[in-house]
């Protein structure tokens, strides 16, 4: 269950990013090209705030169909909360996790979806699809690049096209 927890955390925020980029920027940065529309990049740290493993298979190590639901707070380089994440990952065949998540940020939400390996070690970089959004993120698309730094934190880059 620890490996599923660590991997799902990377997914949603979805799961984690480029640590070098996060360190270089040093917190949340928002870049817009051409006014109110255009590319945006958010850099932040994801910190787990809770989770629950749901064993449908009733096996100790998990089996296809088992789920992990978790939440996280999103903080900038000054440790100030900038949003939150709620996600659910389902264990699929061949050691894969299928994950869906919603990030709540100032101005709206961003929806995420991805597939990752269930047995990834900390430090693995995952690329999660941005599938939409609401408010100022209406019709959002792009990707979340997430890299776990421990069992409870990830460095993330949300890259919106």
Contact 161/142 with Cβ under 8 angstroms?
yes
The confidence band for 2, taking pLDDT boundaries of 50, 70 and 90, is very low
Q: What is the DSSP letter of 135?
A: G
Mean pLDDT along residues 88-95: 95
pLDDT higher than threshold 90 for residue 39:
no
What confidence score (pLDDT) does residue 37 get? Answer: 53
Cα torsion 55, 96, 111, 153: sign: positive
- Give the phi and the psi of residue 8 in degrees, each rounded to 5: -65, -35
Is 70 exceeded by the pLDDT of residue 29?
Answer: no
The CA distance from 14 to 89, in Å, is: 10
* Placement of tokens 């659910």 in the chain: 88
pLDDT at 12: 32
Mean pLDDT of the chain: 80
pLDDT at 122: 85
CA dihedral of residues 46, 154, 128, 121 (deg, nearest 10): -150
- Global confidence as pTM: 0.75
């Amino acid at each position: 269950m620890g490996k599923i927890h660590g991997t799902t955390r990377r997914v949603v925020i979805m799961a984690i990013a480029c640590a070098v980029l996060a360190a270089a920027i040093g917190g949340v940065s928002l870049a817009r090209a051409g006014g109110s529309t255009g590319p945006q990049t958010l850099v932040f740290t994801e910190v787990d705030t809770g989770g629950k493993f749901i064993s449908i298979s009733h096996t100790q190590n998990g089996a296809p169909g088992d789920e992990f639901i978790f939440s996280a707070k999103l903080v900038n380089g000054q440790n100030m909360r900038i949003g939150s994440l709620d996600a659910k990952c389902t264990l699929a065949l061949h050691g894969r996790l299928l994950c869906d998540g919603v990030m709540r940020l100032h101005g709206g939400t961003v929806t995420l979806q991805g597939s990752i390996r269930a047995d990834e070690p900390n430090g693995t970089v995952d690329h999660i699809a941005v599938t939409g959004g609401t408010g100022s993120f209406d019709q959002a698309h792009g990707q979340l690049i997430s890299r776990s730094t421990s069992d409870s934190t990830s460095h993330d880059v949300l890259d919106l096209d």
